[in-house]
Structure 1
Amino acid sequence: MNSSASISLSQLYNFKKLSELQHMTRAAKELYITQPTLSLSIKALEHELGVPLFYREGRQIRPTKHGREFYDKISSVLDELDAGIAAVRSHGAPSGGSLSIGTIPTIQHDFLPALLQQFWEEYGYDVRMGFTVEFSLPLTNALKAQEYDLIFASKADNEPGISYLPMLTKRLVLVVHEQHRFAKRDSVRLSELSDLPFASYRPGTPLGNEMRRLFDAHGIEPSIDYDDEFNLTIVIVSNHQVPGIMLDTFAIERFDHVRKIPLEDVPDDFHIIYLAYDKRIFRSRIVDSFIETALRFSPLARKAAVQAGESALSAS
């Protein structure tokens, strides 16, 4: 007997359809092939298997005992194959499918819910979303490992394979306890912290590295560091004399008796949060659709697009 490698999928699908309809003309019509083509396909399959699969009874085509046994073996396999193809193909559909998204906590209470609402209104609620909340560095590493389709994160250094699209900005503020000597101030300069212990983000993370460059430019250095605003604010509440420099996020609002003070020498749009994807990996249509919605939704992205267009016009 010849190897099963010489049996084609089309032969198996033709056999399955003929077994179910038991009529050559109707089976050929549903398979979108001619009756002679179907007949030759079945004969070739019988030759490969070495047993008869059908016999004629009047105008009907009946499966032999070998045909019935073969149908029982392959029918569920072909159904599972069809289901698998449909599931994967759905990711490329303009609607439906699924998205795996990683996000930093910073945007999960305001920007991200509003963006998702916009996307679902455009593409329907049958698009399934999977979310993971993490910090930027592990999100970036997971994106490169293809654990996510997209992430919202701070921009990491030296990642040429990742495309970063600016989505929104967050201002940097000085957070102090209401008993701190800066508490009644309307603003503070970074240079005023040169002789004070203060808390900020840990170096080695995308945001921490960005902060380190800012602090180096102003000749200051934090004495306490953490990865997020929640833990930084805990330090301030625990030690009334230690201020913290951090992003103005919802995490600060969880605490009583603290004040947020603007920093005079830091622009309000200091920190940018990006939508990022691995540009080396093929993107499904649903992923591209989400990116397109995000670019239309984000005022910062729209502004960047206008500036890019103006730059292109001036260059020409």
Structure 2
Amino acid sequence: MDIKKLETFINLVETRNYTRTAKALHVTQPTVSHDIKAIENEIGVKLFNRNKRYVNVTQDGKAFYQKIRPLINNYYSAVQDIQKKDLAENYKIIIGYSYTPFNDMYIPIWIKKFQQIYPQAKFSIISLNHNELKQQVLAGEIDIIITTGRDAADLNNVKSYHIETESFKAIIPQKNPLCQKNKLELEDFQNEKMLFLDNNWAAEDLINLQNRVMHINNQMHITYVNDLSALNILIKAEQGIAFGLYCLYPHLNKNSVYVPLDWEPQVDLVAITQKDNKKRIVYQFIKFIQDFNFDFE
């Protein structure tokens, strides 16, 4: 049974007047008559007694009204609830997160400042390793992740938005003489203690650099770590030399310094989202990140 016809029935019971019902529903009076007749034909009972002046509800009509009125109310309540939920989902941004000092520092700042501009925005964080995050954004389970342009190059059905470009640097403990150099060659790491990130957490740019340094220097002492939080602890403990970027480590502690590398490939920091993502708020957030002023030292 057509919900609109039931609305006509309910309104006519309450107004007892075809003209007023037609005006209230923005239809013609013949349409009201047609809808009532269609309901009566479908259920097989007379709902109204009508003459030129009056509309009286029959006993069957009253009984039908008592049953139908709550159902119609529940129907529209359910529609409103779903629409509100859908609206709320359109303002929800799901960020894919893997720990880096950069993410740990800037994502909370971005969220707080963005909500000052767009108070309706809501955020959710999903923490996974690097490769898992890429799969989740492809599946549409995550709205946005921050990664490198090279790492995102092999992903289909995503859009990439440039944030920053920079070159890799070596993170050297100040007690190591290499920290005195203006620039380091890749062969300078022979016999050094090195801290390498394993391939599940490292982006392709870092994997390529680590592999190249290993190929050139066959006498290094390498410690592998399985995530950036562990690597950060070892860097702070001055357990070796690591490779980094401001977009990984925006600030080093006082016992370590950045030294430029003679390594030509630059790294593009990008935000990626699925091409089919329809949330306007996601693209507003990405634009906010692109316009953000970073205070790299």
2:244 alignment partner in structure 1: 246
1:189 alignment partner in structure 2: 185
Change (3 A) 1:204 1:130: closer
Structure 1, unpaired ranges of 5+: 1-6, 301-316
2:120 alignment partner in structure 1: 126
Q: 1:62-211 to 2 correspondence within 5 Å?
A: 62=57, 64-88=62-86, 97-105=91-99, 106-110=102-106, 113-114=109-110, 117=113, 120-121=116-117, 124-154=118-148, 155-169=151-165, 171-205=167-201, 207=203, 209-211=204-206
The answer as to whether partners of 1:103 and 1:132 remain within 8 angstroms in 2 is: yes
How far apart, CA to CA, are the structure 1 residues paired with 2:131 and 2:18? 61
The answer as to whether partners of 2:98 and 2:128 remain within 8 angstroms in 1 is: yes
Q: Which has the larger radius of gyration?
A: 2
How far apart, CA to CA, are the structure 2 residues paired with 1:42 and 1:158? 61
1:35 aligns with 2:12: no
Identity of aligned residues (%): 18
- Could you state the TM-score of these two structures normalised by the residue count of structure 2? 0.74
Q: Once the 2 structures are TM-superposed, how far is the Cα of residue 248 of structure 1 from its aligned partner? A: 3.3
Secondary structure, counterpart of 1:198 in structure 2: strand
| Post-superposition CA distance 1:86-120 (Å, at most 9, x none) | 5425666xxxx333333444335237734863575
Change (3 A) 1:113 1:15: farther
1:234 aligns with 2:228: no
- Paired residues in the alignment total 282
Secondary structure, counterpart of 2:155 in structure 1: coil
Change (3 A) 1:128 1:233: closer
Q: Once the 2 structures are TM-superposed, how far is the Cα of residue 177 of structure 1 from its aligned partner? A: 3.4
- Could you state the TM-score of these two structures normalised by the residue count of structure 1? 0.71
The answer as to whether partners of 2:115 and 2:121 remain within 8 angstroms in 1 is: no
Secondary structure, counterpart of 1:66 in structure 2: helix
Change (3 A) 1:185 1:293: closer
Structure 2, unpaired ranges of 5+: none
The answer as to whether partners of 1:198 and 1:245 remain within 8 angstroms in 2 is: no
1:260 aligns with 2:249: no
Change (3 A) 1:115 1:98: closer
How far apart, CA to CA, are the structure 1 residues paired with 2:39 and 2:248? 66
1:225 alignment partner in structure 2: 224
More displaced stretch, 56-65 vs 240-249: 56-65
The answer as to whether partners of 2:95 and 2:125 remain within 8 angstroms in 1 is: yes
How far apart, CA to CA, are the structure 1 residues paired with 2:230 and 2:194? 13
Give the letter aligned to residue 72 of structure 2.
I
Q: Once the 2 structures are TM-superposed, how far is the Cα of residue 137 of structure 1 from its aligned partner? A: 2.2
The answer as to whether partners of 2:200 and 2:226 remain within 8 angstroms in 1 is: no
Q: 1:18-33 to 2 correspondence within 5 Å?
A: 18=12, 23-33=17-27
1:215 alignment partner in structure 2: 210
How far apart, CA to CA, are the structure 1 residues paired with 2:56 and 2:144? 53
